Amino acid sequence: MDIFLEKIVKRKKTAMDGLMIAGLVILALLLIMILSSVKFLASLSPIIVVGIGYLAFIFIRSRNIEYEYIVTNGDLDIDMIIAQRKRKRVFSGSCKDFEVVAKMTSGQYDHNTQNIKKRINAVTTMDSPDVYFITTTKDGEKTLIFFEPHPKMIDSFKKYIPRKVFE
């Protein structure tokens, strides 16, 4: 019997996202003011205002990020969805290659795990109580993946790697 599970989580906006959005709005307003004060661009002013506004809107929407987890027969795929338009695969791997799958509060998140440099944060927020992590070697480099799986996904991993899953 094939196993197919999926879950989508929306990343919460951080303070950095707020600063970037505010900076974009201020920059757009400044550009509009500067370009509208140039005499030879006065006839193109409405087109320039609309263009700058549209670009600001596109950049602000690009801060809306969702992550989709797909588990198919022990394989995990994590996609990042930007502004509900673009999809980018951020991780793909078999659970048989995972070294540890554990909840952040399980005690498995130790000093060795914390020192892994390559990290993939595919969570709503790291403060969420449902955050799990995976350690694996991908492309010859130790990788640490943070995600918020559905309980059925964890059960699916337990079928394939029962000694490596901790809750």
**Mean of the per-residue pLDDT values for the chain?**
89
Give 90-138 pLDDT, tens digit per residue: 999 998 899 999 998 888 888 778 888 899 999 999 888 899 999 999 8
- Asked whether residue 1 carries a pLDDT value surpassing 70, the answer given is no
Q: Note if the pTM is more than 0.85.
A: no
Phi/psi of residue 121, each to 5°?
-100, 100
Contact 120, 91 (CB under 8 A): yes
Cβ neighbours around 37 below 10 Å, total: 10
Q: What is the mean pLDDT of residues 19-37?
A: 89
Q: What is the mean pLDDT of residues 37-58?
A: 83
- Asked whether residue 68 carries a pLDDT value surpassing 90, the answer given is yes
Using a pLDDT cut of 70, give the percent of the chain over it.
Answer: 99
- Asked whether residue 74 carries a pLDDT value surpassing 90, the answer given is no
Q: Which 3 state secondary structure label does DSSP give 149?
A: coil
Look at strands 65-72 and 75-82 and give their pairing: antiparallel
The separation between the first and the last C-alpha atoms of the chain, rounded to the nearest angstrom, is 25
Distance CA 24, CA 10 (A): 22
- Asked whether residue 44 carries a pLDDT value surpassing 80, the answer given is no
H or E, element range at 78: strand 75-82
H or E, element range at 137: strand 132-138
- Asked whether residue 56 carries a pLDDT value surpassing 70, the answer given is yes
Q: What is the mean pLDDT of residues 27-34?
A: 88
Contact 108, 100 (CB under 8 A): yes
